[in-house]
Amino acid sequence: MTANWLPTDTSLPADLAPAVPDLPRAVLATLAYADLFDHPLTAAEAHRHLVAAHATLADVTEALDRSPRLVRRTTRWGEFFTLVGREAIVEVRLRRETSAAALWPRARRWGRVFGALPFVRMVAVTGALAVDAVEPDADIDYLVVASTGRVWLCRALVTALARAAGAAGTRLCPNYVLSERALALAERTLYTAHELLQMVPIAGPETCERMREANPWVRIFLPNSPGVAPPSVTPRRVGGALARLAEAALRGRVGDRIEAALARWQASHLQGKLARGELSGGEAAFDADGYKGHFHGHGARILAAWETRLRQLDGAWA
C-alpha cells in the first residue's frame, strides 16, 4: 500500500483527486498517517482527512464498520479508530486535548499581539496545537504573513516579542514568516497540505482565505477537508492606529534600508548557526519573500515514516 496514488502533478485541477485502489485502503492509509502523531481519528475526522480520495462520510463510516479487511486491522475505542495494537493512543489524545485547552488562551492572546504589529497581514496557529494535540510543555507554532518588502522587519519584531513571552514562561515559535506575494507555496506534499488546511487564523482572516485560495492543490491531497474548526477562535483584523502610523513612517526608503540591514543580519546569524552545526538544514529557507525555520526536516521524516508504515500494512492486506 505504498502512496503511489498521491499526485505528482499538483497543477491538476483540485477536483481531480487521483483514484485509489479502494476506499478501505484509503481509510487505512489515513489512519496510518494520523497514527504517526499518536492521534486516533473519529469516523468524521477520517472522512475529513481522507487521503487523495473523494468519498462521503457515510461511505467512510460503512468501510470502518463493515469492511472485513479494515475491521481486522483497526480497533474502535469509543468514538475513535486506531490501528490494531495502538489503542493506547486514545488516552494520549485525550490527555493532549486537556493540555491544548489550557494553552489556547495564551496562543490567542499572543497571536493578537503579533497581529497588532506593523506590516503584519496574518497570524495563524499551526502545528500540533492547531489540532488540539499538544503536551503541557509544547511550543506554540505560528505562521505570520508580512507585507511585501517587510518580511525581515516583521520577523525581528515578532521574534523580540516571542523572547519576551519566553521570559514570562510561554514558549512561542513564529517559525514561518511569509511575504504577501509568496502565499502560493512551492512545497506541495501531503504534510504541507495538512498544515495549511489545519492552521487556525488568529488575526487577518482575509489573508488566510487568500492563502488557501492561492493553494488549490491541497484539495488533491485532502479533497474532503474544509479545514479544522478552531476552538472558539474568532479572527481579528490586523493592525491598529499605532501600526498604521509605524507603517507610514517605515514605508519608504528609510524602511527599505532597515529591512535590508535586518535581512543581512538575520540571514548571517542563521547561516552562522548552520555552519557551526547548531542547526541542521532540514527544510529551512530564507530570502526576501520568507523565512521558513523548519531546520529539522520534520515533514520529510513524517512522509518517509508513513511510506514505511504503508508498506508494512500492505504486506498483510490480502
Element (H, E) at 81: strand 80-83
Contact yes or no for 83/50 (Cβ under 8 A): no
Q: What is the mean pLDDT of residues 244-263?
A: 92
- Whether 297 has a pLDDT exceeding 80, the answer reads no
Look at residues 303, 293, 35 and name the one whose alpha carbon lies nearest to residue 193: 303
Find cell 485560495 and name the residue.
213
Which stretch of 25-29, 47-51, 289-293 has the lowest confidence by average pLDDT? 289-293
DSSP letter for 236, please.
Answer: B
* Top-confidence residue, 111 or 19: 111
- Model pLDDT for residues 66-110, shown as the tens digit of each residue: 999 999 999 999 999 999 999 999 999 999 999 999 999 999 999
- Whether 203 has a pLDDT exceeding 90, the answer reads yes
Sign of CA pseudo-dihedral 209, 213, 218, 224: positive
Distance CA 194, CA 276 (A): 32
Look at residues 245, 292, 282, 296 and name the one whose alpha carbon lies nearest to residue 151: 292
Residue 169: how many other CB atoms lie within 10 Å: 7
Which cell numbers hold the place of 14? 483540485
Q: Could you tell me the domains of the chain?
A: 23-90+301-314 (1.10.10), 98-293 (no CATH)
pTM of the complete model: 0.88
Look at residues 174, 125, 139 and name the one whose alpha carbon lies nearest to residue 154: 174
Residues contacting 54, CB < 8 A, separation 6+: 17, 223, 224
* Top-confidence residue, 9 or 121: 121
**Cα-to-chain-centroid distance, residue 314:** 28
- Whether 295 has a pLDDT exceeding 50, the answer reads no
> What's the pLDDT band for 137 if we cut at 50, 70, 90?
confident
Under DSSP, is residue 202 helix (H, G, I), strand (E, B) or coil? Answer: strand
The pairing of strands 172-179 and 140-146 is parallel
Q: What is the mean pLDDT of residues 267-274?
A: 71
- Whether 3 has a pLDDT exceeding 70, the answer reads no
Contact yes or no for 262/119 (Cβ under 8 A): no
- Whether 260 has a pLDDT exceeding 70, the answer reads yes
DSSP letter for 235, please.
Answer: P
Q: What is the mean pLDDT of residues 225-229?
A: 61
The residue type of 39 is: H
- Whether 227 has a pLDDT exceeding 90, the answer reads no
Position 11 scores a pLDDT of 65
